[in-house]
Structure 1
Amino acid sequence: MDFKPLVTLLAIVNPLAIVPFFIHYTRDFSPEQRRRTIVTAAFSAFLVIATSALLGLQILEFFSISLASFQVGGGMLLLISSMNMLNAQPAEAKAQTNEFEDGAEKAAMGASIAVVPLTIPLLTGPATMSTVVIYAEKAQSVLQLVTLVGYGVVIGLATAVCFALADPIARVLGKTGINVMTRLMGLILAALAIEVMTGGLLKLFPILGRAS
């Protein structure tokens, strides 16, 4: 059995590195809301990998979308998320009305945050999707394709474990440490967003690379 796709996906997804973002976006959530966010994010990561493996090439061809265009769009999502982090603004920050409405809004927001930006594009962005599509294209049998989908299960479990350990990490760092880490990760994320967008733009417009 070839474990190279799994090792590659673990290196690209790297759920441990996304823990600061998870802490930032769920810092005001209740334990139950956070657990739901973890489950949704883990399942969404698996779903993205499985869909990319089984239907990635067909989906891109159907919509006539290139991987380069996908990179630019993902980079824009990352840049928006980084701006929020640099301003230390939690995604769920809204004017509170009554307790029931606030709880309902946070429950819906938790599901939304779990998908965007935690799963897409932070966990499974253009690099992950394109990697899965490449390995799916190289698959020579149904078993190899099913194995690739199974690796998505491993990625989902790894994501759930890392996010579940976010609470002890938060207790060790404290509020000040989390704020500092949030802004630092926001700055790093902004740089990564520019890198992702630049890579896509250079593929779409090769003349930009020749001009430099």
Structure 2
Amino acid sequence: MLDALDYVRFGLTLFSILDPFAAIPLFLLLTDSRSAQQRSATARTAALAVFVTLVVAGFSGDLILRLLGASLPAFQVGGGIVLFLMALSMINAQLSPQQQTPEEASEASDRSAVGVVPIAMPLLVGPGSISATIIYIERGTGWQHKGLSVAILALICLGIWVVLKLAQPIGDRLGRTGLNILNRIFGLLLAAVAVQIFANGLRGLFPALG
């Protein structure tokens, strides 16, 4: 198991990467013609899809790394770079290309199951969140570590469901400016975490740096 602070850091980092507040405008746009009950169901579908995707990715991380022939430190360096690029986009109050490309955005209106695509994937779950999940889960061993990791993922996805369920009142209250401020705050936090993950990876690849 890791220290308690590591699990808190994992939860805050992953929530900052997923950043459900950034998904509110698109969520409202894609569910504009739906009732409150249908919006709630869409939010629940999106949160469940995020949970399943991250659990599968996190627990298959060791297999993925072995198939790629990559070490965890190398993955940390690559993941840190991806997270830092996402953080820069968040600080500029923009969706990063790692989250959603213009082509995916234009195709979104044609989807019926918008809770899964494009809200859960690729808007919420992308290379950044998958990388962070694999990195943190691979850092510890034992069933207690795995259980706590799943519990944290479940708690985060519960938060995503609440934010998306309340997307209309949150959007009305905060407005575009308020949402951008939140995104910038999450971006700053994510930038700091990305640099730390990158530094940890470098120390693993080059022990002399430690």
| Both structures adopt the same fold (TM-score exceeding 0.5) | yes
> Which of the pair has more CA radius of gyration?
1
Contact 2:49–2:120 at 8 Å: present in 1 too? no
Question: Quick check: 2:93–2:184 contact (8 Å CA) kept in 1?
Answer: yes
Give CA-to-partner distance per residue, 1:170-202, whole Å, 9 cap, x none.
333232222222223223322222222121122
| Counterpart among 12, 21, 24 of residue 23 in structure 1 | 21
Q: Residue in 1 aligned with 2:70?
A: 65
Contact 1:42 1:160 in 2 (8 A): no
- Contact 1:20-1:181 within 8 A present in 2 as well: no
Q: Rate the CA distance shift 1:195–1:112 in 2: closer, same or farther, 3 A.
A: farther
**In the alignment, which residue of structure 2 is the partner of 1:78?**
83
> Which residue in 2 is equivalent to 1:12?
10
Call closer, same or farther: CA 1:23–1:138 in 2, change over 3 Å. Answer: closer
1:88 to 72, 84, 93: 93
Percent of aligned positions with the same letter in both sequences?
Answer: 25
User: Is residue 185 from structure 1 mapped to residue 186 from structure 2 by the alignment?
Assistant: yes
| Number of corresponding residues | 196
Equivalent AA in structure 2 for residue 48 of structure 1: L
Q: Partner residue of 2:109?
A: 103
- Distance in 2 of aligned mates of 1:93 and 1:26: 17
Return the offset for 1:164: 2.5
Q: CA deviation at 1:75?
A: 1.6
For normalisation by structure 2, the TM-score amounts to 0.64
Gaps of 5+ in 2: 33-38
In the TM superposition, residue 64 of structure 1 has moved relative to its aligned partner by 1.8
Deviation at residue 74 of structure 1 after TM alignment:
1.7
Shift in Å at residue 65 of structure 1?
Answer: 1.7
User: Over the residues paired in the alignment, what is the CA RMSD in angstroms?
Assistant: 4.5
Alpha-carbon shift at residue 36 of structure 1 (Å) = 4.8
> Counterpart of 2:184 in structure 1: which amino acid?
R
* TM-score, normalising length: structure 1: 0.63
Task: Kindly state the Cα deviation for residue 8 of structure 1 after the two structures are TM-superposed.
Answer: 7.2
Q: Counterpart in 2 of 1:47?
A: 53
Structure 1, residues 141-175: CA drift from partner, whole Å, max 9, x if none? xxx89967974883475244333345133333232
Gap runs ≥5 in structure 1: none
Q: Structure 1 residue 138 and structure 2 residue 142: aligned?
A: yes
Contact 2:137 2:146 in 1 (8 A): no
| 1:78 counterpart letter in structure 2 | L
